[in-house]
Structures are given as C-alpha cells and as structure tokens.
Copies of this chain bind each other. A is one copy, B any other.
C-alpha cells in the first residue's frame, strides 16, 4: 500500500470481477440474509428483483474480498520494485452505500475504486484520511453498487 502523499484525487483502479452463482447466493443468504428472494429462484422471479438476487451484504462482502486481494497484489508489486510498503489503518466505516440494481444469479460484477477526497487527520497528524468510491458494474455496463469508503493512511513524514 502507498503513503497518503502518493495518492491523488481522481485516481481509479479496477479491483477485479466476480460472478455470483445461484449456489453462492443461496449459501450466503442461508447464513446471513434468509429472505425468500435470496434463497429460491421462483420466489426471486416473483419479487421486485425479477430473479434470484444476491443479498446486498453479499455484494458488499465480495467487494471487500476483491479489495483485500487487490491491496495484496499492489503491495507485492511495490515490494518487488524495492519500494517501502506501509500498512493502512482500519476503516472507521463508510457512507452512502447504494444497492442500485439487483445482482441476479449469473451476473458478473466488475468492481472499481476512485479516490474522491484527501485530507490530513486533525486529531492524528501521522495519518491522512482518504475517501474512495467503490463501485460495481454488471456485464451490461449498469451500475449496481456504490459505496463511499473512508480509510486512514499513514503520512510519509508522519512520525
């Protein structure tokens, strides 16, 4: 991962894509969101979603999974170039999560992340605060998911 000073507003990264299978949708739903339209094809078709739909928490968790994998990849590449790799702080939360369109069985969602704002932390001068919008887009190019995430990132000359 990079230092706060290396990050620029507007920078966009493709994070990876994921295909939601009927089996995966049902498995997540059975554990965490057992509503009928997440568990059964016929119930999904009869619902407003129009098909077996992934739980919104499943979509968010998959986005997290891809973010972690991408962070690891970026850190590995930086280490291979001999650059210093720094650990980001834990996320305090996020704002504006939107489930814009259903994610149905068979849909492939491509996730991306774009830096929206940068500011120093007033309480902790060794950290900067990065806001990034993570989005998911389906195979028809339709936006299905959006989330404004906040992260604490170490400053290069922070300590």
Residues of A within 8 A of B (CB): 31-35, 47-49, 55-57, 60-62, 64-65, 68, 89-100, 102
Total copies of this chain within the assembly: 2
A102 and B91 alpha carbons, distance in the complex (Å): 11
When the two chains form their complex, are residues A57 and B49 in contact, meaning their CB atoms are under 8 A apart?
A: no
A97: chain B residues within 8 A (beta carbon): 93-95, 97
A64: chain B residues within 8 A (beta carbon): 32-33, 55, 57
When the two chains form their complex, are residues A89 and B32 in contact, meaning their CB atoms are under 8 A apart?
A: no
| A interface secondary structure, majority | mixed
A99: chain B residues within 8 A (beta carbon): 90-93
A89: chain B residues within 8 A (beta carbon): 48
A91: chain B residues within 8 A (beta carbon): 56, 99
A91 and B49 alpha carbons, distance in the complex (Å): 11
* 20 chain-A/chain-B pairs, Cβ below 8 angstroms: A31-B61, A32-B64, A33-B61, A33-B64, A34-B68, A35-B68, A47-B90, A48-B89, A49-B90, A56-B91, A57-B57, A57-B60, A57-B64, A60-B60, A61-B61, A91-B99, A92-B98, A93-B98, A95-B96, A97-B97
A95: chain B residues within 8 A (beta carbon): 95-97
A89 and B14 alpha carbons, distance in the complex (Å): 32
When the two chains form their complex, are residues B48 and A32 in contact, meaning their CB atoms are under 8 A apart?
A: no
When the two chains form their complex, are residues A65 and B96 in contact, meaning their CB atoms are under 8 A apart?
A: no
A33: chain B residues within 8 A (beta carbon): 61, 64-65, 68
